[in-house]
Structure 1
Amino acid sequence: MAGDELLEAVRFLPDRVRDVAVAASDLEGLPAHDAVDRVAVIGVGGGRVAADVIESLAELVAGVPVVATGGRCPRWVGPTTLALVISTWGADQPTLAAVDAARAAGARLVAVVPAGPLEQHCRELGVAVVVADTRAGPAAGLGVTLVPALVLLERLGVMNGVSRAISATAHQLETRRAALAADRRLVEEVAADLPGRVAVVGGAGAIGKHAARRWVQRLDRAAGIPSVRRRLPTDAVDAATWHRLHEHTSRGVAAIVLRHGLEPPGSTDGLHLLETGLAAYHEIRAEGEGALAQLLDLLLIGDAVAATAHGLTGRGDVPITGHLNTSEADTGGDAP
């Protein structure tokens, strides 16, 4: 994989977000939703990542419980359940099985999936489908599955304020894309500190957790940088886990802290404990209005850093055009 391929995919993300939002807003054949009292978001690998993010965002604005169920159809799924199916691969067998189980339980279904066997199966069952092009890589793939899913949840009466959030997200991604094209010092400085070191990435709250998980995966797979996620320290005991890793690594730890405007109170009080004693320390600050905009802004920067680091290491073996099909357990040592 060439680093410029990754950067090229990053450049297309804002347009993809807008296009897929329109497709979801125009989708016909949505199920009736007058009696929906819960939502099961079904998906594995990249679909599960998107489902987890949707669950976190829904806590802020949804009127009914929204639960990421992985590749399972829980026993509580029934006629008053909306089953939202998400896939970044399009042929995941656990998701196919869960779709059949949800249909058998009488759930109302809608799907956001790429073209392929899962899409065809959903259409055969009469399920309304948004076809998402996830070939542009993990960050782009997450954006083009998240956005239509959120649009559908708003249309089905589950969430409010989605249209404004998507508009703000598209604007921020376009702004960030232009900024990265004009000045690459931010990504170059971070990338330069990574070769030969372990990248330890952390972030506060749901946005920080999901963004850090994605950074870890991209650095590891696209640039060959050993990477792990750690919870941000609130005291010296927490910070010691970062420093111990640094002490037992030949060239030490490069700490990357992902900041955003929705950090829980007190969650960043211990950051000063990381500013010294490690090989490198970087803070990346998200911009944009709202949780979705700031999350995808961090992912966009992460892809750019991974592309630049790849150019320095010549390592990394996941093509940007490949489908993301990883579970949380595959993201480079996700830690609490």
Structure 2
Amino acid sequence: MTDASARATPVDVPIDVPIDVPNDVPIDAIGGPDSIGMAAAVDALPDQMEAALASAAYVGGLPDASAVTNVMVMGMGGSGVAGDIVAALAAPELTVPVAVAKGYDCPAFVGPTTLAIAVSFSGDTEETLESAIAAHDAGALLIAVTTGGRLAELSRQWDAPLYAVDPSIPMPRAAVGAITVAPLVALERIGLLVGVDAMVDATVAQLCTRRDLGDVESDAVSDVISQIGAGHLLPIFYGGGSLGSVAASRAKAQVNENVKIPAYASAMPELCHNELAGWDLAGPPEQVSPLVVFALRHDFEHPQIARRYDFARRVLDGARIPVPYHEVRAQGDGPMAQLFDLIFQVDRLSLRMAAAAGRDPGPVALLTDLKAYLAQS
């Protein structure tokens, strides 16, 4: 993670809770609460992806590419991100369209030539189950990615291919590697995609390199982490193109669930057509910014997107309330390696924020309460 700002020091806001987070301390040794081992799960991401690649080789019963005219990936929350990643990585290579469905409804185009991939870590996500049942009733070619639950039961009833996810992974959001590798392998085995093994190998290599580096951040970023932990700043993530957009939305969700605070995400170039206008004159000049922008950068951005980042940076620096800005740079061989490098870096960043806030990044009581509430209806 690099600081791209000549004015990198965040706004001078007193911190109510002094927190000393040395730059070279691994995320699992910062001292924050971690009841279910989220830090260890994040660090195990490359191992998780290798295991998922190996286990996916044993799944049979897949249709032939000639039977597929479109692909739909269904999922919600930490499982639903698999659809976003698959679309970002596979859509540019496929000769059939890829759609992502997040909700109860099954799109009307779904039919006997649709490859419908249902992803639910628990296997009991009600939106995904309802959508999967509707897709099956429409005659779609179903594939399930899950640890078990009702989705696994249905896949056996339907004689649909089942990609089993390691149930020891503590949370859906920590299973991002496993739930992404399985659909990509399926697309390759069907004959719609090529080179998945090489993509995963390059990704694992980059994640191992990043893991070995540990958390080496500038003092400015460490200060921002502390201010977020103290409740003085909220993060906004900017991503460029399809890869950056997925990384940014994933980052927002990780901060929401790991740190239990609001966070926001926007994508280039769209944000330059609307959101950017909101920075220029926001608030009286004597105020300090309540927000910090993290720009998630990769090597596969369109050249004009890179220029848009430069312009946006000028706007943020010159706003009546200057906005702290930091860049997170991806490395790795290929789009998948760089996307997961961003995911890995921000996952670790979110855990550092959680530790600074003194919050357990594990279970989210509010979401458990919501499921109980919905079950009463």
Amino acid at match of 1:241: G
Answer yes or no: is the 8 Å Cα contact 1:224–1:313 preserved in 2. no
Q: What residue is the counterpart of 2:326 in the other structure?
A: 282
Q: What residue is the counterpart of 1:272 in the other structure?
A: 313
Deviations 1:138-170 (A, max 9, x none): 553222101111011111111122221111111
Q: What residue is the counterpart of 2:153 in the other structure?
A: 120
Q: Identity over aligned residues, as a percent?
A: 32
Q: How do 1:34-73 residues align onto structure 2 when only pairs under 5 Å count?
A: 34-70=66-102, 71-73=104-106
Number of paired residues?
A: 324
Q: Structure 1 unaligned runs (5+)?
A: 327-336
Q: State the distance in 1 between where 2:329 and 2:42 align.
A: 18
Q: State the distance in 1 between where 2:283 and 2:161 align.
A: 50
Q: What residue is the counterpart of 1:197 in the other structure?
A: 233
Q: What residue is the counterpart of 1:241 in the other structure?
A: 278
Q: State the distance in 1 between where 2:261 and 2:280 align.
A: 18
Amino acid at match of 1:283: E
TM-score, with structure 2 as normaliser: 0.76
Measure how far apart 1:205 and its partner are.
0.7
Q: What residue is the counterpart of 2:7 in the other structure?
A: none
Q: What residue is the counterpart of 1:298 in the other structure?
A: 342
Q: State the distance in 1 between where 2:67 and 2:94 align.
A: 15
Measure how far apart 1:304 and its partner are.
1.0
Distance 1:138 1:255, change over 3 A: farther
Q: State the distance in 1 between where 2:40 and 2:282 align.
A: 34
Distance 1:225 1:104, change over 3 A: closer
Q: Alignment RMSD, CA only?
A: 3.1
Greater Cα shift, 280-289 or 185-194: 185-194
Q: Structure 2 unaligned runs (5+)?
A: 1-31, 371-377
Q: Which is higher, the Rg of structure 1 or of structure 2?
A: 2
Q: State the distance in 2 between where 1:275 and 1:138 align.
A: 37
Answer yes or no: is the 8 Å Cα contact 2:89–2:335 preserved in 1. yes
Amino acid at match of 2:38: L
Partner SS, residue 130 of structure 1: strand
Q: State the distance in 2 between where 1:121 and 1:202 align.
A: 39
Q: What residue is the counterpart of 2:55 in the other structure?
A: 23
Deviations 1:148-197 (A, max 9, x none): 1101111111112222111111111111111126x465874552353311
Q: What residue is the counterpart of 1:10 in the other structure?
A: 42
Measure how far apart 1:225 and its partner are.
4.0
Measure how far apart 1:243 and its partner are.
5.2
Q: What residue is the counterpart of 1:258 in the other structure?
A: 296
Distance 1:246 1:114, change over 3 A: farther
Measure how far apart 1:206 and its partner are.
1.1
Quick check: 1:206 aligned with 2:238?
no
Amino acid at match of 1:2: P
Amino acid at match of 2:233: R
Measure how far apart 1:66 and its partner are.
1.5
Deviations 1:51-70 (A, max 9, x none): 12212222211121121133
Q: State the distance in 2 between where 1:53 and 1:160 align.
A: 16
Distance 1:20 1:236, change over 3 A: closer
Deviations 1:17-71 (A, max 9, x none): 1101111122122234432221122223333322122122222111211211334
